[in-house]
Amino acid sequence: MKFPIQPRSIAFRLIVAVLAVELLSSILVVVLSFGYERHIHFRAFDVMLHGRADSILGAVQDADDPDDNVMLDQADLNIPPDDVYEVYELGGRLLGRSANWQGAGASVPQHPWGDFSQTILNGHHYRILRMQGSRTVDPAVKGGTVHQVIVVYGSPTRHVWHVIRSAVEFYAAGSILLLIVTGPLIAWLLHRGLLPLRQLASLASQVSVDSWQFSPPASARSTPELAPLTHAIESVLQRLEHSFLQQRAFVSDAAHELKTAVAVIKSSLQLLTMKRRSAQEYQAGLERCLADSMRLESLVADMLTLARAESSSPATAPEPTTDLTACINQAVTQLETLATLRNVQVHLKETDLSGKGTGLSAKGTGLCAKGTGLSAKGTDFSGKGTGLSTKETDLSTKETDFSVKGTGFSPYIDPVESVGALAPEGIQLPIAPEDCGLLVCNLLLNALQHSPSGSIVEITLAVESNQTQSTAVLQIQDHGDGIPAEALPHVFDRFYRGDPSRTRTTGGTGLGLSISKAIVTRAGGSISIASQPDPTQANQGTTVTVRLPILN
């Protein structure tokens, strides 16, 4: 079984780490002090041994016998009772030894590194010094006799060890005391040191949906460890607040729109009941109510569409694909009645920026076919499109070109490119077909609604390619009044209406561009809008540009 490791608090971990380091260093101190004390005390001990051995050597005296021998005079020796000694002449003759020792004899080894050795006598550790000295007997008489004498002197070491041990014990006890004292001290210091962190946490915990106020203390901002955290909290809160307020604004706006729509229906109905009316009046009133209900219905449908487009993530569903060119054709077909009604011409134009998308020309013929349908319906269009530049596919006037050449856009695309084309699939986009239709329809509808009678809406489709990614660039341009510069940043806002009185009368819900943006964003593309509201400029009108990644 595997138990989850309970993460300890940072303070606890820091305290343990510091105490461990302290323990380690106190052990080191104890070991070092042991070595040092031993060295010092044994040096003193050795000096003492030398002194005692020297005094033993001093006790070796002339024996006053004819052979000029030497003897050990033990009477004057003042030696601690535990010490042992032994004196030899170099030849091996024993001169004397202490009473409490049998002696090691002359065999006490001469160590190469010194004159000391260890041994155990009577159950005690002894340190033995073997010292060689010389004694001259009767130096005044015929030069005297020189006797080489070996003194072996030993003394028990337990006193030394006792001193060393007590010194080491002192150091150890000091270290433990230090550990005991520093543990709580560090805990207290850490507690104090982490105070800004706790303050930050308590400040951050006070942030709620109703109060987004988060003002970190200046100390937290200037502390190097806390600054990134503070910054992160601040920016997260800002983003959260922004999106929350946006959401709240949306709910409030949606409520306003819905309530207004309901108020319209309710007041229409109540108006009917206010007094007795004729059958025709009731009829007209009911028709108005029906129209009002349909407006409410489309508002609800748009809100649901927006919610769907914004909520579902692209990863959930299997990648749907849509052919953009087919989608455009469909949208144009759907809206050709409205275009005719408003007396607006729709021009389809295709450019190829990369040279890769040569297959578009084949699809382009499809566009032309649809387009001719448009021009046939709008009977008075044919004369108007003649003033256009030759790059544009003016459907009504160039119709004959296509019927003759039959190869689509060959007059407008480099012939070398289109010759190599082999009926490819067109432009496949990672969008669901209904979303793509909605996107193109919304944009085209907007353009048509904002176009004055007799003007042109241009749909331009291009493919931009680099090494990794091909992008479809769809531009829909109208020549209407344009959007004032101050309104331009808000056009994608939900329920935003550039000119309320106009769009209310055209029946827009103010959600079309929001839905379009949500669809494009979900497909990984971008949408932008440019507008020239100044009627004195030649290119007056609005251009919506949609960039969408093409599936390979």
Partner 1 sequence: MRVLLVEDEVRLADNLATALRDGPGFAVDWAEDGQAGDDCACNLCYDLIVLDLMLPKLDGLSLLKRLRSRKDSTPVLILTAKDGADSIIQLLNAGADDYLAKPFDLGELIARAKALIRRGKGAAHPTLSVLGLTVNTLEQTVVRNGVFVDLSPTEYRVLEYLIHRPRVIVSKRELLEHLYDYNWEHHSNVIEVHVSNLRKKLDAVLSECGAEPDPIIETMRGRGYRLAPSLPMNADQSPEPAASSAPIPEQGQ
Kindly list the residues in this chain that would bind partner 1 in the complex (CB under 8 A): 252, 255-256, 259-260, 262-268, 270-271, 274-275, 288, 292, 295, 497, 499-501, 504-505
What is the rounded distance in angstroms from the CA atom of residue 107 to the CA atom of residue 121? 16
131, 52 Cβ separation under 8 angstroms = no
CB atoms within 10 A of CB 263: 11
Please give the angle made by the CA atoms of 63, 68 and 74, to the nearest 5 degrees.
Answer: 20
Region of residue 215 (phi > 0: left; psi between -120 and 50: alpha; otherwise: beta): beta
Give Cβ neighbours of residue 303 (< 8 Å, ≥ 6 apart): 254, 509, 511
C-alpha distances in Å from residue 432, one per residue of 5, 307, 330: 47, 15, 14
As given in the structure block, the two tokens for residue 451 are: 């176009």
Computed from CA positions of residues 160, 165, 166, 172, in that sequence, does the dihedral angle turn out positive or negative? positive
To partner 1, the closest distance from the beta carbon of 506 in angstroms equals 11
71, 96 Cβ separation under 8 angstroms = yes
As given in the structure block, the two tokens for residue 548 are: 């969408």
Give Cβ neighbours of residue 56 (< 8 Å, ≥ 6 apart): 72, 77, 79, 85, 87, 151, 153
Kind and range of the H or E element at 336?
helix 324-341
The DSSP 8-state label assigned to residue 498 in this structure reads S
To partner 1, the closest distance from the beta carbon of 489 in angstroms equals 16
Region of residue 138 (phi > 0: left; psi between -120 and 50: alpha; otherwise: beta): left
User: Which one, 147 or 295, has the nearer CB to partner 1?
Assistant: 295
User: Which one, 236 or 262, has the nearer CB to partner 1?
Assistant: 262
User: Which one, 303 or 463, has the nearer CB to partner 1?
Assistant: 303
Give Cβ neighbours of residue 478 (< 8 Å, ≥ 6 apart): 446, 447, 448, 450, 451, 455, 457, 541, 542, 543
User: Which one, 288 or 384, has the nearer CB to partner 1?
Assistant: 288
User: Which one, 76 or 210, has the nearer CB to partner 1?
Assistant: 210
Compute the half-sphere exposure of residue 491: CA atoms within 13 Å on the CB side of its CA: 24
Q: What is the CA radius of gyration of the chain?
A: 54
62, 144 Cβ separation under 8 angstroms = no
Q: Which of 361, 470, 351, 520 is nearest to 426 (CA)?
A: 361
Q: Which of 523, 524, 520, 522 is nearest to 544 (CA)?
A: 520
What is the rounded distance in angstroms from the CA atom of residue 429 to the CA atom of residue 435? 11
Q: Is 491 helix (H, G, I), strand (E, B) or coil?
A: coil
To partner 1, the closest distance from the beta carbon of 287 in angstroms equals 12
Q: Is 171 helix (H, G, I), strand (E, B) or coil?
A: helix
User: Which one, 102 or 505, has the nearer CB to partner 1?
Assistant: 505
To partner 1, the closest distance from the beta carbon of 250 in angstroms equals 14
Region of residue 144 (phi > 0: left; psi between -120 and 50: alpha; otherwise: beta): left
Q: Bridge partners of 88?
A: 94, 150
Residue with tokens 């080894």: 109
